[in-house]
Amino acid sequence: MPPDGSRRSPAPADDRRKKQRTISSTKEATIYCPNCGQPIGDPRQPCSHCSHQVRPVQVDESLSSWIPYKNPAALIAYYLGIFAFIPCFGFFLGIPAVIAGILGLKSAKRQPEVKGKVHAWLGIIFGTFFTLLYLSVILMVVFAMSQHKK
């Protein structure tokens, strides 16, 4: 017969853990371990059945993939590209938007986890588009003025 005392001693701690698990499982929907298929109370904790680490909430991941907090150059390019839409004033933002966009793309290439490629490209596209637009307007005005002089 095995010594009962040594078996029972870890029981209170196990009971507490079970209570915690039921409390957290009432708050959120039951999540099942992708490795062993057992229900898990807290997805931030490794699985208690097979110690498989379940990935933390996926919403956070998609959010950080859309807003490149770690790639400021890409963010700057994005906002400069948007503000380049403002007439006259925007002309001075188009070229910096392209430069910031290229810097953002470079840092996204160097460290893929910083992301921001979409923002960088939007900055480059908007910056190029509005710079060309304003340049063509300026050229047209200059051309019209030179024609007027004759």
- Closest by CA to 73, choosing from 43, 39, 28, 111, is 111
- The single residue among 35, 45, 64, 128 that binds Zn ion, judged by CB under 5 A, is 35
Residue 13 beta carbon to Zn ion: minimum distance, rounded to whole angstroms: 20
Across the strands, what pairs with 121? none
Cβ-Cβ contacts under 8 Å for 39 (sequence gap 6 or more): 25, 30, 31, 32, 33
| 49 contributes a contact to Zn ion by CB under 5 A | yes
Report 54-113 residues binding Zn ion (CB under 5 A). Answer: none
| 50 contributes a contact to Zn ion by CB under 5 A | yes
Q: 32 or 66, CB closer to Zn ion?
A: 32
Helix spans in the chain (H): 4-8, 11-27, 58-66, 72-83, 91-110, 117-149
Q: 35 or 128, CB closer to Zn ion?
A: 35
Q: Is 40 helix (H, G, I), strand (E, B) or coil?
A: strand
| 53 contributes a contact to Zn ion by CB under 5 A | no
- Closest by CA to 24, choosing from 38, 3, 44, is 44
Residue 30 beta carbon to Zn ion: minimum distance, rounded to whole angstroms: 13
Residue 22 beta carbon to Zn ion: minimum distance, rounded to whole angstroms: 18
The DSSP call for residue 53 is -
- The single residue among 36, 63, 140, 142 that binds Zn ion, judged by CB under 5 A, is 36
| 135 contributes a contact to Zn ion by CB under 5 A | no
Query: Which residues in this chain contact Zn ion in the complex, by CB under 5 A?
Result: 33, 35-36, 47, 49-50, 52
